[in-house]
Amino acid sequence: MTTVSILPEEVVAHILGFLGLPDRKSASLVCRNWLQAARHPALMRDVVVDAGSCLSGAAAASSSGSILPPEWKPLVRSLALGSHTSSSKSSFALSWRQLADTLDGCHRLVSVDLSGCDGLCLARDLLSDESQRRHLRDQLVGVRHLSLAGLTRLTATGLKRFVDLFTNLKSLNLRSCSLVCSSSVAIGSMADASVLTFAAVLDVVRRCGIEELDLSCTDVTDSALEQLAKVDSLHLRGIALDSCRLLEGRGLARLIASQRGSLRRLSLAKNRHLQTVGSQPATADQLTELLAPGCSNFINDRLLIASSSSLTVLDISDCGRVSEGALTTALTAARQLRSLAVARCSAFTDAAVTESLTSSDEASLRMLEHLDASSCAGFTDVGLRLLCGHLGKSLRSLRLAWLRGVTDWGLLGLPQPKSKDGEQCEPKYNPPSYNELKSLLSRSVDNSEAAIGPNYSLLSLRRLRLLDLSNCSKVSGIGLDEIFPSSQFPFPDLEELHLQGNRHVQDSHLFNLALGAPSLRQLHLSGSVGVSDKGLVAIVSRCHRLRSLGLANCDGITDAGLQHLAADSLHYVDLSFCSRVSQAGLDQLARRAPRIAEMRGLWTGTELTGN
């Protein structure tokens, strides 16, 4: 027995307190004493428990009893007792007696998630005991967030009983609930016991002073939102209305106007019929998050709502009617922007990036951490070089999937050579040779060549944690050699890498990646025909934190390579359409690696195991 393993538990717990949670989990696997130290109460200040999967086991066999150990209850801050997918069998396993026994004693609880627990709504005596409700109410005074998403059988009476447990509730999630907004529904005890009416939701908002409300995937109407806007002393800080098929915009405009100065977060994803968001940009002058992917009718005037200096998150993916001028205006005004998603948005061009970055001394986008520019046809090497040159210290996530305008030259911060007639080498793209790269990289860059050189290459983004170069047809093996060199790896914090559809990826690139990115958690190489068992072994043997591995359509992977996939950290493997992988090899992998929760293989692409 080593000296370290016999240290007192308090000493080991104190040492582990200086580590982050992922490193602390790895340290707990060293020995039994370190495992006990990692569970020391001093290290469990803000415990988050997702117990949905536990309900399908022994806890579901009994209709009563807490599913949490007694020593955990005083430490738990966030508790998820349901399933996030309605198809899960555990969604119906939780009984109301288990809920009451589990909540009893959780004094520090702040968030409760009962998503998908439809079985609770079937009990006729759901929290009907007043003395029991009073006892729980006294212990749950700190709960501010309640999620009832996916409770399709939730009624007005059930909602009232749930909310009565939490006297300081400020956030309510009713996503995918069967909400009835029609004024023709009778009001009374019979209706409250059979359906969830919008009048009941208004009553909860009024009594509790709800500040965060999620009504996504419901049948909420414009008239209902107009009623919500009329609630006295309403101060909404955030509202989510994703995929509300009956929403046209009139009620939303009234609601935004009534919440001028208080609304911070607005989510409108996939609302195809949305027409009007606000008559004036000032109606949301304090907005910090605007999420509107899939709003095909999200025209220029509505984008001006986001023109504020406090905007930090903007998502207008698939908004094809947004003009370049409107987007440039919004980006120039949003100087605190940290996350930008413009996938499949034609307005995001090199000109928009140039104007936003160079319009003033205090240019916008300088604090940008996350950028999704997938399938933006107008974004090319020119815009990429500018982003890399100005965002080298901030950018952490970069998605460039399906960009035909991004080439090896742009990744390396170099101008694409021109043909004899002065035009760029288009439409046929010729990858650079090694001699050309050496010549350009070795020479000193003239000051007249703006935004060119090593400081404007992808290599300057040293803080990157996510990089997506999927299906970039003009990124060849030569460019990948420079991005993933054998000497000093440029992205030491890289956790997620997407190279799907790139036929130039070779085993040598994986060798360099394994040596330079030990923190890699997700690697997706679907369609990389140059990857074989050797590259797979290099990745698995050195990237000990790898959790997700995508190898679909990789014909170089064989049954022999699957023998090396028994890593403890690996939870997801995609081996779909790998022609040299057999059913016997998949069965053997399932036996050797029981920790893999989902595995896809053969020619179906469907789930084979679900441990």
- Mean of pLDDT values over 340-347: 93
For residue 191, name the pLDDT band (cuts at 50, 70, 90): low
Residue 7 CA neighbour count, 13 Å, CB half: 16
Residue 89 has pLDDT above 60, yes or no: no
- Mean of pLDDT values over 487-502: 88
Q: Which of 178-192, 296-310, 409-423, 542-556 has the highest mean pLDDT?
A: 542-556
The predicted structure's pLDDT at residue 591: 83
For 438, residues 6+ apart whose C-beta sits below 8 A from its C-beta are none
Residue that wins the pLDDT comparison between 122 and 243: 243
Chain segment 519-551, per-residue pLDDT in tens: 899 999 999 889 999 999 999 888 888 999 999
Whether residue 434 contacts residue 428, with contact meaning beta carbons closer than 8 Å, is answered with: no
- Mean of pLDDT values over 488-509: 89
Q: Cα(424)–Cα(422) distance, rounded to whole angstroms?
A: 7
Residue 248 has pLDDT above 70, yes or no: yes
Residue that wins the pLDDT comparison between 214 and 24: 214
> 300-314, 430-444, 521-535, 570-584: lowest mean pLDDT where?
430-444
Residue 61 has pLDDT above 50, yes or no: no
Residue that wins the pLDDT comparison between 423 and 252: 252
For residue 35, name the pLDDT band (cuts at 50, 70, 90): confident
Residue 424 has pLDDT above 80, yes or no: no
Helix, strand, or coil (residue 607): strand
For residue 609, name the pLDDT band (cuts at 50, 70, 90): very low
DSSP assignment letter at 187: P
The predicted structure's pLDDT at residue 484: 82
Residue 490 has pLDDT above 90, yes or no: no
For 190, residues 6+ apart whose C-beta sits below 8 A from its C-beta are none
> If you write DSSP's letter for every residue of 434-494 in order, what string do you get?
HHHHHHHHHSPPPTTSTT-SGGGSGGG-TT-SEEE-TT-TT--HHHHHHHS-SSS-S-TT-
Whether residue 67 contacts residue 54, with contact meaning beta carbons closer than 8 Å, is answered with: yes
Helix, strand, or coil (residue 52): helix
For residue 368, name the pLDDT band (cuts at 50, 70, 90): very high
- Per the DSSP assignment, residues forming a β-bridge with 50 are 80
Q: Cα(271)–Cα(590) distance, rounded to whole angstroms?
A: 42
Average pLDDT, the chain: 81
Residue type at 596? I
Residue 25 has pLDDT above 50, yes or no: yes
The predicted structure's pLDDT at residue 442: 54
Burial label for 202, CB within 10 Å (0-12, 13-18, 19+), is middle
Q: What percent of the chain has pLDDT over 90?
A: 31
Peptide bond into 427 cis (omega under 30): yes
For residue 235, name the pLDDT band (cuts at 50, 70, 90): very high
Chain segment 214-227, per-residue pLDDT in tens: 999 999 999 999 99
Residue 431 has pLDDT above 80, yes or no: no
Whether residue 242 contacts residue 268, with contact meaning beta carbons closer than 8 Å, is answered with: yes
Q: Cα(346)–Cα(377) distance, rounded to whole angstroms?
A: 6
Domains and CATH numbers, the chain: 9-39 (no CATH), 495-610 (3.80.10.10)
The predicted structure's pLDDT at residue 360: 61
Residue 67 has pLDDT above 70, yes or no: yes
Residue 91 has pLDDT above 50, yes or no: no
For residue 604, name the pLDDT band (cuts at 50, 70, 90): very low
Residue that wins the pLDDT comparison between 134 and 401: 401
Q: Cα(39)–Cα(590) distance, rounded to whole angstroms?
A: 30
- Mean of pLDDT values over 509-524: 88
Residue that wins the pLDDT comparison between 404 and 94: 404
For residue 449, name the pLDDT band (cuts at 50, 70, 90): very low
The predicted structure's pLDDT at residue 495: 93
- Mean of pLDDT values over 117-122: 80
For residue 92, name the pLDDT band (cuts at 50, 70, 90): very low
- Mean of pLDDT values over 418-423: 54
Residue 470 has pLDDT above 90, yes or no: yes
- Mean of pLDDT values over 416-431: 55
> 71-75, 588-592, 600-604: lowest mean pLDDT where?
600-604
- Mean of pLDDT values over 52-64: 47
- Mean of pLDDT values over 457-471: 92
- Mean of pLDDT values over 449-454: 53
Residue 514 has pLDDT above 70, yes or no: yes
CB neighbour burial string for 412-424, b if at least 16 within 10 angstroms, e if fewer? bbbbbeeeeeeee
The predicted structure's pLDDT at residue 395: 94
> 85-89, 315-319, 437-441: lowest mean pLDDT where?
85-89
Distances (CA, A) of 543 to 276, 491, 523, 539, 547: 49, 14, 10, 6, 9
Give the residue ranges of DSSP H helices in 469-606. 477-483, 507-516, 533-542, 559-562, 583-592
Chain segment 126-163, per-residue pLDDT in tens: 666 778 888 888 899 999 999 999 998 899 988 988 89
The predicted structure's pLDDT at residue 301: 53
Helix, strand, or coil (residue 568): coil
Residue 182 has pLDDT above 70, yes or no: yes
The predicted structure's pLDDT at residue 444: 40
